[in-house]
Amino acid sequence: MIDEDRNIITIQCTPTLVVKKGKGNRTVYVESAMTTIIEACKDSGTIVSIGIENVHAMPGQGVTSMFSLGLGYGLWIGIISALRLPHTRIEPQTWKKALGIKSGSDKRASVARALQLFPRAYLMRSDRARVESDGMADALLIAEYTRRMLNGSKA
């Protein structure tokens, strides 16, 4: 979440847990914690609009990962809609182009651009992380794109 002056209010990863399944592990969403994040933002009175990336299946992606991605997207849309918050679904290529990320760039391009626009952003998933999270960078850039779209500006 950012404000109209591009100050970061909060940046968080989608709440998940790793649970045992058979001989392996799987990651599951924590819906109640997802709702708590949105409710806290709503209660702060700072939400003007929410931008959410309109995710799509891509060739070569596994069925399980695509199902999980779609489930997460659906949960966020459901929570936002249930709380009656204004939101816009944004195509990935639209926000990336508007923020100067070239088509076909790797995931690190989002991190680099986010740190250019928000030099004080902390994009580590945890204190033990060694590399900035491209997902957190994407979220920050989508928030910036939404801010620009609402203000009718390019800066």
**Domain boundaries of the chain, sorted by first residue:** 16-151
What integer is the mean pLDDT of 98-108?
A: 90
The predicted-structure confidence for 58-71, as pLDDT tens digits, reads as follows 777 778 778 888 89
What integer is the mean pLDDT of 90-104?
A: 93
Which segment of 43-52, 98-107, 117-126 scores lowest on mean pLDDT?
43-52
Q: State residue 118's pLDDT score.
A: 95
Q: Tell me 15's DSSP state.
A: P
The helix/strand/coil state of 64 is helix
pTM, two decimal places: 0.87
Please give the class, per CATH, of domain 16-151: alpha beta
> Could you write out the DSSP letters of every residue in 73-125?
HHHHHHHHHHTT--EEEE-HHHHHHHTTPPTT--THHHHHHHHHH-TT----S
What integer is the mean pLDDT of 35-40?
A: 91
Q: State residue 55's pLDDT score.
A: 85
What integer is the mean pLDDT of 135-149?
A: 94
